[in-house]
Structure 1
Amino acid sequence: MVRRKDPAVRSLLIERAAQMLRSREPITLRSLVAGTDVSTMAVYTYFGSMDGLWKAVRQEGFTRLAARLANVTMTADPVRDLAALSVAYLSNAAANPDLYRVMFDAGFDLEDSEAADETLHLLVRTVERAKSAGRFHPEVDALELATQGWVIGHGLASLVLTGPLPREALAHGPPVLTALFISAGDEPARCRESMGRGWNPECLVGSSNG
């Protein structure tokens, strides 16, 4: 009888690999499973090889981000939704700091690059909705604006997760994003109102390693 794979073991190995990468520990089959009840063969059972493990580690970061973004309820206000998606992005980074650091390491391939790209495309579609609603100028490039928003979120998350800025610095997100959206054509007062509805600071409090 074929033994079923245990998702908990797969998750354990991914989490441990991400933690070791973050702390710059030498990673070998033996060091990866040291102190666990898992054998070195588990790496081959669950990932096929060490290269397969690295792909899975990076992919897992995007998988968790996608799940967090999918939990955001879309409304009739696309600018509010962009704010809520930004909070989801930052809260995911705060909850999964080790995986977040690996997500953007191009030294490792992805298992499914299209699934990873979809996290950005969700923002692009929301920007398109804002254009259709007359909130942003028609000539605004949706991909460019979504990328600019992503860069803001990534920069803020990285500075907080690596230590230079305290967790409270995440509160700088709304004014920076508001300025970006106003530059794209949104009316200032309306933009601030939408941002206030979408930005829930409680989602950024108390996050820890996931």
Structure 2
Amino acid sequence: MPRPRKRDYDSLRRDLIDAGGRLLAAEGPSALSTRRVAQETGTSTTAVYSLFGDKAGLVREMFLEGFERLAAAFDAVPRTADPVADLLALGDAYRANARDNPHLYELMFGRPVPEFRPDAEAGRRIRPTFDALVAACARCVDEGAFAPLPPHDIAVQLNALAHGLAGLELRGALGGGDDADAHWKRAFATLLKGLAA
């Protein structure tokens, strides 16, 4: 296969990552092979090796891409004069990203590929998403909306809540539509009430 042009490279990379994620989510780690991913995207295994090195490289890039999409979702949240509303908007962005990328979500936060463990460089690259949450929590504390608790600890609690809700929603355990919305709103309202100054 000839080396793809820059535009083709980005499109093919994304297609391969999404195909890998869909295979992993639908059929489990045994279905995730370079041959199957190539077939799903109508390309050759040479393209997979060229872009990712091997299957392990593909899995690593799937993991990183999930967090890049989450970071982009967080970056798109506007900053307003209300720190709590802005924090809740990050929660909405987290939820929307999970729903838009369910095929990458489990790899981001679980162990569906047992042999994959993020290396130190991957850890450094995904850190800004959690740092954005800590910064939003710090702003709530600094502006008096939250009790003077360590922002990192607040961020851990909010992250755990959002992760749990998103995981349940993706599995259909929160019901659909209005039911799922209500669970998210009530859960966050309860936690924020406990954090209020």
TM-score computed with the length of structure 2 as normaliser: 0.86
What is the aligned counterpart of 2:22 among 19, 31, 42? 19
- 2:157 aligned with 1:152: no
What fraction of aligned residue pairs are identical, expressed as a percent?
36
Structure number with higher helix proportion: 2
Distance 2:125 2:176 in 1: 29
Distance 2:187 2:36 in 1: 43
What is the aligned counterpart of 1:93 among 90, 98, 102? 98
Distance 2:101 2:163 in 1: 13
Question: Does the CA-based 8 Å contact 1:58-1:109 persist in structure 2?
Answer: no
AA of the residue aligned to 1:114: R
Number of the residue aligned with 1:185 = 196
Distance 1:178 1:3 in 2: 49
Number of the residue aligned with 1:191 = none
Deviations 1:62-88 (A, max 9, x none): 110000010000112111111111001
TM-score computed with the length of structure 1 as normaliser: 0.81
Deviations 1:63-115 (A, max 9, x none): 10000010000112111111111001001111111111211135424463223
Distance 1:141 1:181 in 2: 15
Tell me the number of residue pairs that the alignment of Structure 1 and Structure 2 aligns. 185
Distance 1:172 1:114 in 2: 32
Kindly state the Cα deviation for residue 13 of structure 1 after the two structures are TM-superposed: 0.9
AA of the residue aligned to 1:4: R
Distance 2:26 2:13 in 1: 20
Question: Does the CA-based 8 Å contact 1:136-1:185 persist in structure 2?
Answer: yes
- Runs of 4+ that moved beyond 3 A: 1-5
Question: Does the CA-based 8 Å contact 2:174-2:183 persist in structure 1?
Answer: no
C-alpha RMSD of the superposition: 1.9
AA of the residue aligned to 1:72: V
Distance 1:84 1:47 in 2: 34
Give the unaligned 5+ runs of structure 2: none
Distance 1:149 1:72 in 2: 17
Q: Secondary structure at the match of 1:34?
A: helix
Q: How does 1:41-52 map to 2 (within 5 A)?
A: 41-52=46-57
Number of the residue aligned with 2:13 = 10
Number of the residue aligned with 1:58 = 63
Give the unaligned 5+ runs of structure 1: 187-210
Number of the residue aligned with 1:207 = none
By relative contact order (CA 8 Å, sep 6+), the higher-ranking structure is 1
